[in-house]
Amino acid sequence: MKAATGGDNPYLPHEIIIDILKRLRVKSLLRFRAVCKDWRNILKSPFFIEEHYHRSAKKNPLLTCHVSNRNPIYSPLCLFRLEKETVEVERIHLMEFDFLRRVSSMIGSSNGLLCVELGDVKFDPPSSLFLLNPATREVMKVPRSTKDVRRCCHFGFGYSSVVGDYKIVMIHKERINSRSIICVDRVEVYSLRTGSWKEVEFGVIQGACFLYNPVAVNGAIFWLGIILEGEHCRRMIISFDLAMEAFTLIRIPSSAFVPRLVQYVLDVYENKLAMIHQYVNELKEALEYTFIDIWVLEEGSGAYGKSCSWSKKYGIRADPFSLRPICLWRNEIACFNPNDPDLLFSLTANNELKRFHQSLCQGYMPECFFYAESLASMCNTYFE
Amino acid sequence: MSSSVEAITVLSSDGDEFKITVSAAKLSKPLNWMLEDVCFSDDCDEVPTIEVNSKTLVKVIEYCEKHAPRANSGASDSDAEELKKWDIEFMKMDVKDILFHILMAANYLHMEGLYDLACQTAADLMKGMTVSQIRKIFHIKNDFSSEEQEQLRRQHPGCSFD
């Protein structure tokens, strides 16, 4: 039978086969590993995995977040897809991952891998860290550091293409006896390639207070923090270069201090660190409005020892007044409105407000990261 | 280039003659070079050959003619919508039939739009296929030894070689 043998189909060259394969979802690609050795090797090559991820990030960008869990067959991890009218929410199925039910927080998302924490960090027994790829369903328990006491910890997770490695940063804090200040006591870094923890220098961040979740981009992790400078507390960006394993403090643009601050949110804009700055200002006749500015960290991008500067991408008036930015999504500002909890909003640079129906999160998305499906594996950390 | 030339004649790899308008030929760099050669050449009797079979070339030219007005002048959003629908209809072909030939032709003729469309069509068709169906259309032999298959199955439960 002609059709059954592929007929007079031409043999396709390698590059065309790759161009087709990179348009397929991970689910199909996992199946096609069994086609032949050549395909199996394509599908596990760092080059292909990277090409596939970039396409998936562009064509099918998702947000992942942690929500309270009621359904016993799902983990508290959700994937959000923005459609034209609604937000489609997919909850990560548990199946063999029963332990995921106990996910207490998300630490980060990078190249399709998620770093999550199980249990409660503040109490004994100490919680555990896991890396997982929800698309391939690969999962790995991160070994415990020998000095792991976890009284009070901040975490970060990111990828550095310079060293071809994923790293988890764990910042331990300890109350200093003589004073009632909680200080950074020890910083440990886990490398997925070496499979071990090690201590790193943390001098510049000793008195730092960490706010909100970190953001990882361009081989660095960024936190919004408060640093004691002389008598004054100052908001700063704390960056950790994953290749150099060193901290740097970055000043927030001085014009982002004026008027009354509502909040800062860190995220990524065109592959650079971005700061969403929301503030209140009086426009006319004593009427107050909230405004949102997007600042982007240019050159050096927070890498250790390099200079950097901020540029303002755009500023818009947030209307209604109560809109609160959550993150950047497809270069728009995703917001929630406590007065309208069934909707997600997105504000464009032209100040157009789009509304999306969703029912899951009641407007509030506490730990929210960019995510796109990928074949990235914990066994092979190289991701060009 | 003489403005009087509106279409050129090309030969397919099976030796059939095809006419393609100048504006449509502009969608492909190699076709465009051929066009310039034909227009500048004194010896107008020579008909250039394109290494694409007749059955495929018909489809490629059909695509070019349809996309040429938009590519050359830009078009409104409604036109873009209409063109998208047309592309979907145009791509309703069997992978066993000529889709792979279209892919090869689009690659050879440097036609980005058609190549992208054909790759996506192939990917969409492959989504639902079994491993053995994939092997058939790509002329691939299962080169895993039975031990290797066993090992892959152990590593990835549910992994099927058929």
Residue A33 has pLDDT above 80, yes or no: yes
Q: How confident is the model at residue A364 (pLDDT cuts 50, 70, 90)?
A: low
Q: Average the pLDDT over B94-116 and give the result.
A: 89
Among chain A residues, CA nearest to B140: A36
Residue B15 has pLDDT above 70, yes or no: yes
Residue A25: the pLDDT is 94
Q: Looking at residue A30, what DSSP letter applies?
A: H
Residues of B in contact with A24 (CB under 8 A): 123, 126-127
Yes or no: say if A154 and A223 are a contact pair by the CB < 8 Å rule: yes
Q: Helix (H, G, I), strand (E, B), or coil: what is residue A354?
A: strand
Residue A362 has pLDDT above 60, yes or no: no
Continuous segment of H or E residues that includes residue A247: strand A246-251
Residue A114 has pLDDT above 70, yes or no: yes
Q: Average the pLDDT over A57-77 and give the result.
A: 78
Q: What is chain A's alpha carbon radius of gyration, rounded to the nearest angstrom?
A: 22
CA B97 to chain centre: 13
Q: Is the CB of residue A33 less than 8 Å away from at least one CB of chain B?
A: yes
Q: Looking at residue A123, what DSSP letter applies?
A: S
Question: What CATH number is associated with residue A351?
Answer: 2.120.10.30
Q: How confident is the model at residue A115 (pLDDT cuts 50, 70, 90)?
A: very high
Q: How confident is the model at residue B2 (pLDDT cuts 50, 70, 90)?
A: very low
Residue A140 falls inside a structural domain: yes
Q: Is the CB of residue B112 less than 8 Å away from at least one CB of chain A?
A: no
More confident residue, B11 or A76: B11
Residue A170 has pLDDT above 70, yes or no: yes
Q: Do A36 and B122 touch (CB under 8 A)?
A: no
Residues of B in contact with A51 (CB under 8 A): none
Whether a cis peptide bond, with omega within 30° of 0, leads into A72 is: no
pLDDT tens per residue across span A122-140:
555 566 889 999 898 888 9
Q: Average the pLDDT over A301-316 and give the result.
A: 73
Residue A77 has pLDDT above 90, yes or no: no
In one-letter notation, the amino acid at residue A197 is W
Q: Average the pLDDT over A90-117 and give the result.
A: 82
Residue A383 falls inside a structural domain: no
Sign of the C-alpha dihedral, residues B92, B93, B95, B101?
A: negative
Where in the sequence is the domain holding A82, given as residue range(s)?
45-371
Q: Is the CB of residue A10 less than 8 Å away from at least one CB of chain B?
A: yes
DSSP codes of every residue in A136-187: TTEEEEEPPPTT---SSEEEEEEEETTTTEEEEEEEEEEE-TTSS-EEEEEE
Q: How confident is the model at residue A15 (pLDDT cuts 50, 70, 90)?
A: very high
Q: How confident is the model at residue B17 (pLDDT cuts 50, 70, 90)?
A: very high
**What is the spatial distance between Cα A328 and Cα A314, in angstroms, rounded to a whole number?**
13
Q: Do B119 and A20 touch (CB under 8 A)?
A: yes
pLDDT tens per residue across span A315-326:
888 777 778 888
Yes or no: say if A143 and A128 are a contact pair by the CB < 8 Å rule: no
Sign of the C-alpha dihedral, residues A7, A11, A16, A19?
A: positive
Residue A6 falls inside a structural domain: no
CA A247 to chain centre: 19
Residue A306: the pLDDT is 64
pTM: 0.85
Residue A150: the pLDDT is 59
Yes or no: say if A322 and A262 are a contact pair by the CB < 8 Å rule: no
Number of neighbouring beta carbons within 10 Å of residue A237? 23
Q: Is the CB of residue A229 less than 8 Å away from at least one CB of chain B?
A: no
Yes or no: say if A102 and A116 are a contact pair by the CB < 8 Å rule: no
Q: Find all residues with CB under 8 Å of A126, minimum gap 6, and list them.
A: A119, A144, A148, A149, A150
Q: Which superfamily does CATH assign the domain made up of B7-128 to?
A: Potassium Channel Kv1.1; Chain A (3.30.710.10)
Q: Which of B67, B56, B55, B86 is nearest to B23 (CA)?
A: B67
Counted domains in chain A: 1
Q: How confident is the model at residue B48 (pLDDT cuts 50, 70, 90)?
A: confident
Strand order in the sheet with A343-347: A324-329, A332-336, A343-347, A353-357
**Phi, psi at residue A150, to the nearest 5°?**
50, 55
**Burial class of residue A221 in the structure, from the number of CB atoms within 10 Å of its CB (0-12 exposed, 13-18 middle, 19+ buried):** buried
pLDDT tens per residue across span A240-286:
999 999 999 998 887 766 667 778 889 998 889 999 988 888 766 66
Token pair of A371, please?
Answer: 């995510």
Q: Is the CB of residue B115 less than 8 Å away from at least one CB of chain A?
A: yes
Residues of B in contact with A5 (CB under 8 A): 136
Q: Do A6 and B152 touch (CB under 8 A)?
A: no
Residue A3: the pLDDT is 36
Please report, for chain B, the start and end positions of each structural domain, with discontinuous segments joined by +: 7-128
Which residue is listed with tokens 């873009």?
B80
